[in-house]
Amino acid sequence: MNSSAHRAALVGLLATLILVIAAVAVPPLLGWQVWTRVHIEDGTFPPLHGFPEVKAGIGTVLAVLLALASLRWADSVASELPWRRLLVVAYAVGLVWLLSLALVDGTEGISGVLGSPSEYLGTARAVDDVGGLLREYVARIPYDAPAGNWPVHIAGHPPGMVLFFVLLVKVGLGGDLAAGLVVTVIAATLAPAVMTTVRVLGSEARARAAAPYLVLTPSAVFLAVSADAVMAATAAWGICCLALACRGGPRHGWPWAVVAGLLLGYLVMMSYGLPLVGVLALAVLWLGSSRRWGRARGWWVLPVAAVSALGVVLVFATGGFAWWEAYPVLVDRYWDGLASRRPGAYWTWGNLAALAISAGPLVGAGIGAAWASRRDLEDRVVVVLVAAALIMIALADASQMSRAEVERIWLPFMPWLTLGCALLPERWRRPGLALQLATALLVEHLLHTSW
């Protein structure tokens, strides 16, 4: 199995690197204008939403030192620490990794994106009537809305995300830097949530093996500066609660099932694309119903969580925002904008290259290793979760509603795909982690990524 995993991992890595190279090289070589950005005067760098910019800053030294220390100690820490202490260390190291990369741009690296006029904070600061916001939300999505259209990110998402920032404003954390720090603190919980899910589903060894790749992910470049990180964390903790509900059974697990439904229901109110996380939820329920707990210990969670999630959606509908009415309006606005100029012939596969850069090219090797391990019962948890991630990504890509910018839009899918790295042969681990760390450092120091 080790030799077959090695071959499959090598094929996956090479395919991923070829995909990335092609996505970067094809547009300039063939003269394609793929419209990664609205304003292209400063240049572009497809498939990422940004342009070349060499830089260094106060976070550079810390990021490099952390990368070097991780190459030396990450595996031993992940394998030897008691579980609860490992979660604390994973959170702390992840937070430092996020902050150090963001601070390569100085404090602007944390505050700049959220302070953009196209983001949520400007609108959140102006909200003094949440009911009014919900009632007028759908009417202001179109470009030709009589009362004026919402900024890009408000129009492109349900109101759950802007309400999160309204809450930050109300509690005194509505400044650009303060809000950026809150997002970063939440983003750092992503790895512990995924690790806990894998352990609860019965694979602590694989959760530990995945820890360095989850914590020191290249996605940190985008997690620390994007509201999508909050969505990713909400999804991860919702899925984690589903796993905890399965383990607890109907008698002890129902509170976890309710919380899972509330989180996943609110997730649907954060992004029109994240009902796709339902694929991952079904995978977790299947795993929870097919292991030692017995079948009755898994599927009972589905109706409880579904009712809880539906309750969130109906509360928003009662307040004036009906998801099912808003989505068709959003589709029209999406195709009235820059998306219509972005060629599907490029972005259908260019999106996958952007994903590979954001999650790190080692995920291709991880997919190969998961394929090689597909018949190994001990690796079933990771294989199923990676498969669910691939299905979510394939569906999102096929929808054509994510042409470009997926380095942040698909952040909720990336940690589950990264789990495949836990199945890599031992000789891959340190070089693989080095590749991931180098990817993060190069992207942060050589590109202005816009997120």
- What count of other Cβ atoms lies within 10 Å of the Cβ of residue 312? 19
Give the per-residue pLDDT at 114.
92
Note the pLDDT tens digit of each residue in 203-261.
Answer: 999 999 999 999 999 999 999 989 999 999 999 999 999 999 999 988 899 999 999 99
Q: Is the pLDDT of residue 419 over 90?
A: yes
CA distance 308 to 324: 18
pLDDT confidence bin for 297, thresholds 50/70/90? low
pLDDT exceeding 70 applies to what percent of the chain? Answer: 98
CA distance 345 to 342: 9
pLDDT confidence bin for 388, thresholds 50/70/90? very high
pLDDT confidence bin for 312, thresholds 50/70/90? very high
Residues 136/127, Cβ–Cβ less than 8 Å: no
Give the per-residue pLDDT at 377.
87
Residue recorded with tokens 């509690």: 171
Give the per-residue pLDDT at 109.
95
Between 411 and 291, name the one with better pLDDT.
411
Residue recorded with tokens 């836990």: 422
Average pLDDT, integer, range 99-121: 94
Going from the C-alpha of 437 to that of each of 175, 184, 310, 402, 432, the distances in angstroms are 31, 19, 40, 27, 9
139-165 residues labelled b (16+ CB within 10 A) or e (exposed) = ebbbeebeeebbebbbbbbbbbbbbbb
User: Coil, strand or helix: which one is 448?
Assistant: strand
Average pLDDT, integer, range 351-380: 96
Going from the C-alpha of 196 to that of each of 82, 215, 251, 417, the distances in angstroms are 13, 13, 21, 16
Nearest to 400 by CA among 328, 334, 329, 323: 334
Q: Is the pLDDT of residue 423 over 70?
A: yes
Domain boundaries, the chain: 2-448
Give the per-residue pLDDT at 291.
55
pLDDT confidence bin for 310, thresholds 50/70/90? very high
Note the pLDDT tens digit of each residue in 326-346.
Answer: 999 999 999 999 999 999 999
Q: What letter would DSSP give residue 45?
A: B
Note the pLDDT tens digit of each residue in 189-213.
Answer: 999 999 999 999 999 999 999 999 9
Token pair listed for 262: 């509330």
Inter-residue long-range contacts of 177-181, CB under 8 Å, 24+ positions, other chains counted? 177/107, 177/110, 177/111, 179/111, 179/114, 179/121, 180/102, 180/110, 180/111, 180/113, 180/114, 180/224, 180/225, 181/110
Nearest to 156 by CA among 39, 273, 264: 273
Give the per-residue pLDDT at 424.
98
CA distance 227 to 165: 9
Average pLDDT, integer, range 428-443: 98
Q: Is the pLDDT of residue 295 over 80?
A: no
Give the per-residue pLDDT at 1.
59
Residues 356/219, Cβ–Cβ less than 8 Å: no
Average pLDDT, integer, range 316-325: 98
Note the pLDDT tens digit of each residue in 49-87.
Answer: 999 999 999 999 999 999 999 999 999 999 999 999 999
Going from the C-alpha of 274 to that of each of 266, 329, 340, the distances in angstroms are 10, 17, 22
Give the per-residue pLDDT at 38.
83
Average pLDDT of the chain, as a whole number: 95
Rounded (5°) CA angle 136-325-309:
100
User: Coil, strand or helix: which one is 189?
Assistant: coil
| Prior bond of 47 cis (ω within 30°) | yes
Residue recorded with tokens 């008691």: 82
Q: What letter would DSSP give residue 51?
A: E
Residue spans of beta strands (DSSP E) within 29-160: 51-52
Q: Is the pLDDT of residue 292 over 70?
A: no
Average pLDDT, integer, range 136-157: 96
